[in-house]
Amino acid sequence: MTAPTANLTHWAERVDLAAAFRWTARLNLHEAVANHFSLAINADGTRFLMNPNARHFARIRASDLIEIDANDPATLTRPDAPDPTAWGLHGALHRACPHARCVMHVHSIHATVLASLADSTLPAIDQNTAMFFNRQIVDEGYGGMAFEAEGSRCAAMLTDPKVKVMIMGNHGVLVLGDSVADTFNRLYYFERAAETYIRALQTGRPLRVLPDAIAEKTAREWEDYPPTANAHLRDLKEILDIEGSDYAR
């Protein structure tokens, strides 16, 4: 990790978040200069770091991240104002859901295909999809781009800490977690799980859906499994470091 930039706080968190942006771009889970991640940095979650407006994920550095107060109504008038949909969605979430320490929203291909189906629920058809059994919610009420009213509507659906993923019908996916590592790991697995499901549907053959009891057992086993999310992000940062990336500047 490089030395902290002067006057910037929460440097380790900034570095983790910048690495997540870089790897999300590498996996092509992002979309142009849209999509957004945020990370709470105070106890009640109302102050958070977020990517700057209209910056490609592949270019974001730790020092580029902006700090936002979810309770500041003048946020969109500041010189470095975030994207208005990012403010609408993430501001509302960090005000309403203090358990959502980190929030990642993307329009990744397979999750968005899933969000476009009449039934957007991800069924438990393998070990990875079972991770999300009873821990997902489908937003059936898409009301347009996520400006403040739409963001508040979405946030109101995520007050149950057990729910870690919102499949945003006609839109994309929103993933919640306790840290950057936890959330990025979940985002990674959700996109892989969605791809497995979509590819299974493409065969046209019947699905082997797990019984609810086994799916719930597997989801709990995932939760109790020795933690790997930190190791996942640690190794991704080491790869970026070896490559000479400037993400940690």
Q: How far apart are CA 238 and CA 106, in angstroms?
A: 24
- pLDDT at res. 1: 55
Q: How far apart are CA 39 and CA 48, in angstroms?
A: 5
- Count how many domains the chain has: 1
* Structural domain contains residue 181: yes
* Structural domain contains residue 31: yes
* Structural domain contains residue 36: yes
pLDDT tens by residue, 192-246: 999 999 999 999 999 999 999 999 999 999 999 988 999 999 999 999 999 999 9
Report the chain's mean pLDDT, rounded to a whole number: 96
3-state secondary structure at position 107: coil
- pLDDT at res. 175: 98
Q: How far apart are CA 100 and CA 4, in angstroms?
A: 26
Q: 136-139 and 165-168: which strand pairing? A: parallel
* Structural domain contains residue 248: no
Q: How far apart are CA 223 and CA 245, in angstroms?
A: 32
* Structural domain contains residue 174: yes
* Structural domain contains residue 76: yes
Range of the domain at 227: 11-243
Q: How far is CA 126 from CA 186, 206, 214, in A?
A: 16, 14, 11
* Structural domain contains residue 148: yes
What average pLDDT score do residues 4-18 get?
88
* Structural domain contains residue 50: yes
Alpha-carbon Rg for the chain, nearest whole angstrom, is 18
**Cβ(168)–Cβ(142) under 8 Å?**
yes
pLDDT tens by residue, 37-79: 999 999 999 999 999 999 999 999 999 999 999 999 999 999 9
Question: For residue 45, what is the domain's CATH number?
Answer: 3.40.225.10
